Amino acid sequence: MMCSIKAVVVVLLGVAVSGCVTTSSGLTAGTDAVHSESSVKSGLKHFNRDEYGLAARDFEQTIMKNPADASAWVALAASYDRIGRFDLSDRAYLQAVSLVGETPQLLNNEGFSYMLRGQLSKARMKLEAAHELDPENPVINDNLKLLKSSAGLLRQGGGT
């Protein structure tokens, strides 16, 4: 049963991350924007190939050139989540929030990060806050459903 939960978590993380790393105008700024964009594209390519360490490296390079690139911070945080470096993902999420505020996508990704760690009460707080800001967002709604089913499985003793 736990394997199926992990499979669902991995699938939904891919969906959640693909939505959060989409750059939008106004998030990328600075003189190195063209170089930053190529590093982000390379990072996304690595991320989609499950090469999370390489993705993190590319996003780190983007941030070194353009520390105000919120999309790169979010993508970096998601990469760190995938390699289990939650200490680093927390820092990256904080930096992204300082740049663009607590957007529904950021709250969703932070909530998903807490789900990966098994910190379901923190996950619930973040996901519910994301849902309040964007109640029609299918990724947020799917993550809330996943959270509820994960909590139900844990209550039933389905975790090992």
Is the model's pLDDT at 109 over the cut of 90? yes
pLDDT tens profile 119-142: 999 999 999 999 999 999 999 999
| Tokens encoding 35 | 């170089």
Radius of gyration of the chain (CA): 15
Between CA 48 and CA 66 the distance in angstroms is 23
Say which range, 40-49, 53-62, 91-100, 146-155, has the weakest mean pLDDT: 146-155
How far is 68 from 30, CA to CA, in rounded Å? 8
Structure tokens belonging to residue 156: 């039933």
- Which residues have CB under 8 Å from 149's CB, separation 6+? 5, 8
14 versus 118: the higher-pLDDT residue is: 118
CATH of 2-20+30-155, one of 1.25.40.10, 3.30.450.20, 1.10.10.10, 3.40.50.620: 1.25.40.10
Residue 35 confidence class, pLDDT cut points 50, 70, 90 = low
Phi, psi of 100 (to 5 degrees): -125, 0
Rounded to whole angstroms, how far apart are CA atoms 53 and 113?
17
What's the half-sphere exposure (Cβ side, CA atoms, 13 Å) at 47?
Answer: 32
pLDDT digits (tens, 9 = 90+) for 74-84: 999 999 999 99
- Mean pLDDT computed over every residue of the chain: 81
Q: Give the pLDDT confidence of 85-98 residue by residue, as tens digits.
A: 999 999 999 999 99
Min mean pLDDT across 37-51, 67-81, 146-160 is at: 146-160
Q: Within 10 Å of residue 155's Cβ, how many Cβ atoms?
A: 9
Residue 13 has pLDDT above 50, yes or no: no
Please state, as a whole number, how many other Cβ atoms lie within 10 Å of the Cβ of residue 43.
Answer: 27
